[in-house]
Each structure stands twice: as C-alpha cells, then as structure tokens.
C-alpha cells in the first residue's frame, strides 16, 4: 500500500510559529495546479503499482484552493490511475475562516472524507498573538458547519505551551474541543523554530517558552481529559475515537511508502527520502516530463534502523521486533533489545509477549531520551 501527499503552499498570511514552506502569492494557484498535474504524471510510476490507500492535502493552507482546483487535482489522479475504488481516506487541511457555508456545501461534491482543522487555541488573544486569522467562535462554527453537512470525520490541531497561556487556558481549550465531538485531536507542544516570527519575538524578549513543569502538566492534562472521554492515545501527539486514527499519518510511522507532490513536499520509498525544494517559482517553471527541483537522501541500513526506532516508538503499538529482525537483520534486533533493557527494568519500556517494544504511559513525555539511547 502507498499514500500521496500534496503540499499546497498558499497562505493568506504567515502564522508566527510556522516553519513549513508557504507563500502568500495566491495569484499563482492556477499555475501551481498545472504543475501539480505535471508532477503527478511524472512521478506516479514511482509507486510501482502499490495500491494507494490515502491522499492528504497539507500545507500551507489547502483550503485556499477553490473547489474547482481541488477537483481538478483529484480527477487527474483518478485519470492517471485505477485505484480510486481502493482509497480509504482523503484528507483536506483547512483553516476555519475558509469554511464558509458555500465552501462546505461544494466540498461535499468531492470525494474528500476527512477534514483537519488548524484551530490551535480557543482563546482569541492567543490566536491574535500567533497570527491566526480566525476567532474561537469561527472555529466552533466551522466544525458545526462541517458536521451539519455530513462531513463528520473531523480532526482538529491544538498547540500547548503558547505564550501567555496558563494551565487553566489549556484546560479550557481541551474542554471546548471535547464538547465539539470531533473524531480526532492532534496536540503539539509549541516549538520556537529559528527564523519564524515567534522565534524573533523570543530573541527580542517579547515572549518566552513555558517552564518544564508547566509543559509536563499540560501533557498530563491532555491525556487525562482525552482518555477520560474515550479518545485513544495512539501516537505521542495524536488522539482519536475508536476507528478514527489518521490512516495517512499512520503510514508515516509504519514506514509505508508515499510520494510527496508540490514545492517543499517530502517522499519515502522504503530506502530513500526525497524532498522537493521549497520554491514555487522554480516548481511552476518545471517543464512537462522533467523532474521538479529536489534533493535525495539515500538511507544506510543504520539510518533505516534509527528511523524505525524514532517513528514506531512514537506509537502506542511500538516497535515490532519480529519485523525489525526480518527487515534489517539479527544484529539490529539484538542492539535494540540490549539498549532497551535498562528502560524495561525501570518501567519505562514494555517488552510484550508478542514481541513489541513500547513506551509506558508515564514515559511518553520523556520519549526523546529513551529513543536516543536506542539509536544505532
């Protein structure tokens, strides 16, 4: 099986914390769609006949594309391939303020069956501080609008550790998310990425990261509230009601191959990682039957082992030790178990009878330290 990721680089404005490739040149949308279709034609053969199960429109802000533009991309994929009947999930990332009644009504005419909303917070002052265009009420209205239209497989993104937010603020945002009855919640700790507006604000002393104690308590509060409401904590930053795990994102953590289309998009074929360069002008200028500007990293077996540790240990399922041995060899299996032994004795890792190695709930927040010691 395989997936397709389509990076839509357009944004009405840049959020203060974002370091993904994006541009505010919305007048280039039509040329971008043309280029996406050219790249799809050139690169779909890389999947070597694997059944495509998921398509994910990420960004940027994919909801800046019109319904006509989204339809054209999807129809082109189906025209080039015969896998449309095998698709399980087509996700569109969206900003709440883009989801007008008309947009949602027209969205129902597409085969998109999952919407991921970038809400981040239910506090207007925080949303303004980090450059979000929507208000808390607009976010709530967008979710309700989707639900009323029958698009009920909704995921929302939240961020904790935002400047000036207290634990009570975070608890309120979680309660609001739960009250909306969405199927999936992704919650990320804010990071100050170099070069972003938020990073510059920190450099100027205008904002500062929250302390470690509040970080830990925020994560504990996240788990307490969502688990008590029936959400499954299936990956470090992701919670879902039963049956609503993100199929596309799960493929990243399971090492399933995918191609990334669009400027700044990443791809993985099981042995190599590739990323298109983040330059819309050069991307659009790529001629028919030519490969877009990109770079490739050829992974050694040691690097493939490290990636498996980092991705699989993020999940509730953990590392499949039998598959690890079969795919990479006995020495990697031996190394992994040897490095894990101290953490097993300390109760931070569990080695199950069916040969999985997974983090215990109490060690999830400090998982980076555990992963680091398991690397090759």
Residue 262 in domain: no
Mean pLDDT of the region 86-103: 95
Distances (CA, A) of 320 to 67, 92, 254, 315, 376: 41, 30, 10, 11, 17
Looking at the chain, how many residues does it have? Answer: 376
Is 331 within 8 Å of 323 (Cβ atoms)? no
User: Do 230 and 339 sit in the same domain of this protein?
Assistant: no
Which pLDDT does position 212 carry in this prediction?
86
State the Cα–Cα distance between residues 116 and 122, nearest whole angstrom. Answer: 16
User: Do 215 and 322 sit in the same domain of this protein?
Assistant: no
Residue 198 in domain: yes
Instruction: Domain of residue 341: give its range.
Output: 317-376
Q: Of 252, 280, 295, at which residue does a domain stop?
A: 252
User: Do 19 and 140 sit in the same domain of this protein?
Assistant: yes
User: Do 103 and 233 sit in the same domain of this protein?
Assistant: yes
DSSP annotation of 120 reads E
Residue 10 in domain: yes
User: Do 201 and 341 sit in the same domain of this protein?
Assistant: no
Residue 73 in domain: yes
Return the structure tokens found at 177.
Answer: 């998310």
Q: Residue 258 — left, alpha, or beta (φ > 0 → left; ψ -120 to 50 → alpha)?
A: beta
Q: What DSSP string describes 289-323?
A: TSPPSEEEEE--HHHHHHHHHHHHTTBSS-EEHHH
User: Do 216 and 352 sit in the same domain of this protein?
Assistant: no
User: Do 236 and 338 sit in the same domain of this protein?
Assistant: no
Sequence-ordered list of residues with C-beta below 8 angstroms from that of 262, at least 6 positions apart, any chain: 6, 7, 8, 9, 32, 36, 39, 276, 283
Q: Of 195, 223, 252, at which residue does a domain stop?
A: 252
Which pLDDT does position 1 carry in this prediction?
85
Distances (CA, A) of 36 to 6, 88, 93: 8, 22, 17
What digits encode the pLDDT tens for the residues 146-159? 999 999 999 999 99
Q: Of 206, 227, 252, at which residue does a domain stop?
A: 252
Q: 246 by DSSP, 3-state: which?
A: coil
User: Do 234 and 353 sit in the same domain of this protein?
Assistant: no
pTM of the model: 0.94
What digits encode the pLDDT tens for the residues 109-143? 999 999 999 999 999 999 988 888 899 999 999 99
How many domains is the chain built from? 2
What digits encode the pLDDT tens for the residues 191-247? 888 888 888 888 898 888 888 899 999 999 999 999 999 999 999 999 999 999 999
Residue 76 in domain: yes
């Amino acid at each position: 099986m395989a997936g397709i990721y389509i990076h839509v680089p357009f944004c009405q404005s840049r959020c203060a914390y974002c370091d993904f490739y994006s541009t505010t040149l919305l007048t280039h949308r039509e040329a971008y769609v043309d280029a996406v279709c050219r790249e799809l034609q050139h690169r779909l053969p890389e999947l070597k006949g694997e059944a495509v199960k998921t398509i994910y429109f990420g960004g940027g802000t994919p909801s800046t594309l019109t319904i006509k533009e989204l339809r054209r991309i999807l129809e082109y994929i189906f025209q080039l391939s015969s896998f449309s009947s095998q698709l399980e999930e087509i996700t569109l990332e969206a900003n709440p303020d883009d989801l007008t009644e008309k947009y949602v009504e027209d969205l129902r005419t597409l085969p998109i069956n999952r919407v991921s909303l970038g809400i981040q917070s239910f506090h207007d002052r925080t949303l303004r501080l980090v450059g979000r265009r929507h208000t808390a009420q607009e976010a709530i209205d967008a979710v309700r609008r989707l639900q009323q239209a029958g698009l009920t497989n909704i995921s929302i993104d939240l961020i904790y550790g935002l400047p000036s937010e207290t634990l009570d603020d975070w608890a309120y945002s979680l309660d609001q998310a739960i009250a909306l009855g969405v199927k999936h919640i992704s919650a990320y700790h804010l990071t100050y990425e170099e070069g972003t507006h938020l990073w510059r604000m920190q450099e100027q002393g205008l904002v500062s990261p929250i302390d470690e104690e509040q970080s830990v308590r925020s994560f504990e509060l996240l788990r307490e509230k969502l688990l008590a409401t029936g959400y499954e904590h299936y990956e470090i930053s992701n919670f879902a009601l039963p049956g609503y795990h993100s199929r596309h994102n799960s493929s990243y953590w399971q090492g399933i191959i995918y191609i990334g289309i669009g400027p700044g998009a990443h791809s993985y074929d099981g042995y190599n990682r590739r990323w298109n360069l983040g330059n819309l002008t050069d991307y659009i200028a790529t001629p028919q039957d030519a490969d877009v500007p990109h770079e490739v990293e050829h992974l050694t077996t040691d690097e493939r082992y490290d990636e498996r540790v980092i991705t699989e240990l993020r999940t509730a399922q953990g590392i499949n030790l039998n598959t690890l041995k079969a795919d990479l060899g006995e020495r990697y299996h031996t190394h992994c178990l040897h490095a894990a032994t101290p953490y097993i004795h300390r109760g931070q890792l569990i080695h199950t009878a069916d040969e999985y190695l997974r983090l215990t709930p109490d060690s999830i927040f400090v998982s980076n330290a555990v992963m680091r010691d398991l690397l090759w």
